[in-house]
Amino acid sequence: MTGSELRELLSSSPADCHRALMKEYGRYVYSIVFNKLRSCGTQEDIEECVCDVFADIFIKFEYDEKYVNDIKGYIGTVAKRTAIDRFRSISAVSRYTACADEDEMAQLVSDFSVEEQADSSELRRVLLQKINELGEPDSTILIQKFYYNRKSSEIAETVSMTASSVRSRCTRAIGKLKQKLIEADILR
């Protein structure tokens, strides 16, 4: 499909134009995005980025004489730039998440010896009671994070928050839990 064909189709039926563009260039865009995000993104991230590429093309494309014969080049450029931006955002989030998780775990490890207390049912009962005293959504976040080993993005879906909100709530909830455990004379 050339730029002039795209313009004609767009003027007659935008919906048909969008479908034709997706049909003809969908695999091309997917391969560009996949090659950029395969090392850091999930399948969902890749599919979301492909959708963003086509949304960007549909919203921002203005007919210009330089795209008459090279619409594929324009689409490839948009796909590459969008995938690179997504790669940077995913990489930044994963670096932040890894650091935050390590800090959270360091707090728990330094104050709580799992090996010494693993068989103590009383300790587990008190710990669960103190977590439940934190209330919602903090108790759900802590249980999902440390018991079910779920990622912040997964927890965010269940508690209707953003992943960054879940991480900050988790950090604050750990502090509150630590204080409750000190008050209960479990931690020192």
Q: How many domains does the chain have?
A: 2
149, part of any domain: yes
Q: Do residue 173 and residue 122 come from a single domain?
A: yes
CATH of the domain at 131: 1.10.10
99, part of any domain: no
> Where do the H-state alpha helices sit in 43-70?
43-60
What is the structure's pLDDT at 90?
A: 84
Q: Do residue 80 and residue 116 come from a single domain?
A: no
User: Which residues have a Cβ under 8 Å from the Cβ of 83 and sit 6 or more positions away?
Assistant: 32, 33, 35, 36, 37, 49, 53
Per-residue pLDDT at 110 exceeds 60? no
CATH of the domain at 78: 1.10.1740
What is the structure's pLDDT at 114?
A: 43
97, part of any domain: no
Q: Do residue 79 and residue 119 come from a single domain?
A: no
Among 43-47, 95-99, 128-132, 135-139, the range scoring the smallest mean pLDDT is: 95-99
Q: Do residue 83 and residue 151 come from a single domain?
A: no
Which of 31, 55, 90 is a domain's end point? 90
What is the structure's pLDDT at 119?
A: 46
Q: What share of the chain is helix, strand, coil (3-state, %, to 5)?
A: 80, 0, 20
Task: Give the dihedral of Cα atoms 35, 38, 41, 46; nearest 10 deg.
Answer: 50
Which of 56, 90, 124 is a domain's end point? 90
Q: What value does the mean pLDDT of the chain take? A: 78
pTM of the model: 0.47
Q: Do residue 7 and residue 83 come from a single domain?
A: yes
Q: Do residue 126 and residue 64 come from a single domain?
A: no
What is the structure's pLDDT at 115?
A: 47
188, part of any domain: no
Q: Do residue 86 and residue 7 come from a single domain?
A: yes
What is the structure's pLDDT at 102?
A: 54
Q: How confident is the model at residue 112 (pLDDT cuts 50, 70, 90)?
A: very low
**Residue numbers of the domain that contains 162:** 112-183
Q: Do residue 12 and residue 70 come from a single domain?
A: yes
